[in-house]
A and B are shown apart, each in its own frame.
Chain A
Amino acid sequence: MKKSQKILFDFAFTFATLSLAFGVNLALQELFDTRIMIPMIFVLGVFLVAWRTRGYFWGIAASLISVLAVNYAFTYPYWAFDLISPECLSSAAVMLIVSIMTSTLTTQLKKQEQMKAEAERERMRGNLLRAVSHDLRTPLTAIYGACSALLENYDELPRETQIRLLTDIRSDAQWLVRMVENLLSVTRIDAQRVRLTKHDTVLEELIDAALVKFHKHYPDQPVQVEIPDRFVSIPMDAMLIEQVLMNLLENALFHAKGMKNLWLRVTISDSRALFQVEDDGCGIPPERMKELFTGNLPSDAPTDSRSSNMGIGLSACSAIIKAHGGEIHAAHRPGGGTIFGFTLEMEEAHHGKQ
């Protein structure tokens, strides 16, 4: 569907440009009574077509049509074809060269842009990998150490110590699970670039599921919820969006020092849903703000693994929201704290096959 649209656009653009060139030439011929401008105008037209359309086909087609047009309307014998004259052949050659060279240049340019984007993705992946290996090591070391301590000194360790070690193992393992889930989402989305399977999801049920999950892990942190009263259904991959909400709520919990209130708000404008997670904690320093969603570790990253998980959690959020065609952003909250927000489209852009 998208491809046929592109072809249609290329065809329309070629047709319009050439018609315009033809019309302008007719007019100029009337006005100035000279034909010097004619090939120039057509070369300009061919150049535009080769530049704006995809591949070589339209540029070459345009140059051939231009040659025919010049030959037919603007050279002797007028309004008739005379295809074997040397003028015609040489102008055809020039037009062809112009169009091929322009197409080559623009194709190269497009390739370069693609490579740049690819390199950017590669860089993000690299950052993520570095952050991950950095982050995996700490809890794994702790788990390994605690298990060895328990196994090798089982009878000597007092009961409280045993329980404390086991509790640590559990919380480290839980933390690893969350991180691996985030990683899975990121790699799933950007490796295959698959279209998400979006289903209409009832907003209230989504919020409910996220909150139930959040309260199960953190029963002591109340969340103030403000969502529209009416029935709202949004197309999304509900599991992934639930994960985004969890990440944002957890981030606030772990990083917003001194937080008293945590809000989860959803507002609907005609075509978009805006989700906001807001805290009144310590806020994020401005220099960290712009690096938040890139998975970049700040150069002075603390070795405390929990704080860099924020990077992975947020780059997972960003990947998920981008794959949904939405936007994610963070801002300072007036009066202290941070607002994380993301948008989702209320309607599927097109109802193509999945």
Chain B
Amino acid sequence: MGNNKYKVLIVEDDRSISRFVQAILESNGYQVLSAERCGQGLLVYASHMPDLVVLDLGLPDMDGEEFIRQVRRESTVPIIVLSARTEEQDKVSALDLGANDYITKPFGTAELLARVRAALRFSRLNMQAAPTGSTFTVDDLVIDYDRRQVSVGGNLIHLTQTEYNILSFLSQHTGKVMTYAAIIRSIWGTMDDGSVKKLQVNMANIRKKLGCRPGDNRYVTNELGVGYRMLDE
């Protein structure tokens, strides 16, 4: 039975944090490996090939970003980054390097488990060949990739070409925070000074058309100063 469990690697130098993360994950049916330093983490990673990595950015021996870079060379294993509130820029660069998600310290059980589930689901989806002619559903929002149509509660929503592209791009990475830079690269190809603003205006229009109210975004959450995330549960 035990070998059916998802293996999660925690790389975190603070023992108390590492221990309680381990306790939460183990009691929810994950098998947990832990490492206190980057170097050790890379070794454990190579020998056990975990299904998910939870990574603290501020490690004593090496920058956490270096860890992401090395792992990303050969693998798409989901990586969740733990960061302090003030490390805004680190968050963005970790995401751009290929981390799947971040959790801001301090965090609670529910938040941690939700992110872990989302990241594992994302990697499962990625392993299958991209399904053609499928639809995407979250809450009462449905995206029909074939017809390039979006509906909410059965009502067709009229989106512009760009708005549809953004929404469909986010839905293909559901549960994952997409940074402004990543979205812009995929939609417009190049990035200039006005790009972020252009994206923000488009997102505002999308929210309006989908009928989202501040504090009650059921489909796409906005991560201030970082990017957007399509919800998946």
The contact string, 1 if C-beta is below 8 Å from chain B, for chain A 1-25, is 0000000000000000000000000
Contacts of B88 in A (CB 8 A): 239
For chain B residues 203-230, which have a beta carbon within 8 Å of chain A? 203-204, 207, 213-217, 221-225
Chain B interface size band reads: 20 to 34
Chain A residues touching B, majority SS: helix
The answer to whether residues A201 and B106 also contact, given A207-B214, A207-B215 and a CB cut-off of 8 A, is: no
Tell me, in angstroms, the Cα distance from A208 to B197 when the chains sit together.
18
Task: Please encode chain B, from 152 to 196, with 1 for each CB lying within 8 Å of some chain A CB and 0 for all others.
Answer: 000000000000000000000000000000000000000000001
Option from A173, A184, A204 in Cβ contact (under 8 Å) with B214: A204
A201 in contact with B201 given A184-B86, A225-B215, A239-B85 (CB within 8 Å): no
A227 at the A/B interface (Cβ < 8 Å)? Answer: yes
Q: Which of the residues B85, B221, B224 comes within 8 Å of A206, measured between beta carbons?
A: B224
A184, closest chain B residue (CB): B86
Query: Which residues on B sit within 8 Å (CB–CB) of A202?
Result: 200, 203-204, 222
Which of A181, A188, A233 contacts B197, CB < 8 Å? A233
A interface residues, tally (CB under 8 Å)? 28
The answer to whether A215 and B215 touch across the interface, beta carbons within 8 angstroms, is yes
Could you tell me the distance in whole angstroms from the C-beta of A1 to the nearest C-beta in chain B? Answer: 21
User: Chain B's nearest CB lies how many Å from the CB of A106?
Assistant: 41
Nearest neighbor of A203 in chain B, beta-carbon distance:
B214
Chain B residues whose CB sits within 8 angstroms of the CB of A344 once the complex forms: none
**Does A223 belong to the interface (CB within 8 Å)?**
yes
A102 to B153, CA, bound (A): 78
Is there contact, CB below 8 Å, between B85 and A231?
A: no
Indicate whether A211 sits within 8 Å of B215 (C-beta atoms), given known contacts A201-B225, A233-B197: yes
Interface centre among B196, B200, B215, B217 (most CB of A within 10 A): B215
- Residue interface mask A195-207, B partner, CB < 8 A = 1: 0000111101111
In the assembled complex, the CB of B86 is this many whole angstroms from the nearest CB of chain A, namely: 7
User: CA of A206 to CA of B204 in the docked complex: distance in angstroms?
Assistant: 12
B194 to chain A, nearest CB (A): 11
The chain B residue sitting closest to A208, CB to CB, is B214
Cα distance A257–B196 when bound, in Å? 43
Binding site for B on A (CB under 8 A): 173-174, 177, 181, 184, 188, 199-202, 204-209, 211-212, 214-215, 223, 225, 227, 231, 233, 238-239, 242
Q: Which residues of B line the A interface, CB within 8 A? A: 85-86, 88, 106, 196-197, 200-201, 203-204, 207, 213-217, 221-225
Given A174-B106, A200-B197, 5 new contacts (CB under 8 A)? A201-B225, A202-B222, A208-B222, A239-B88, A242-B224
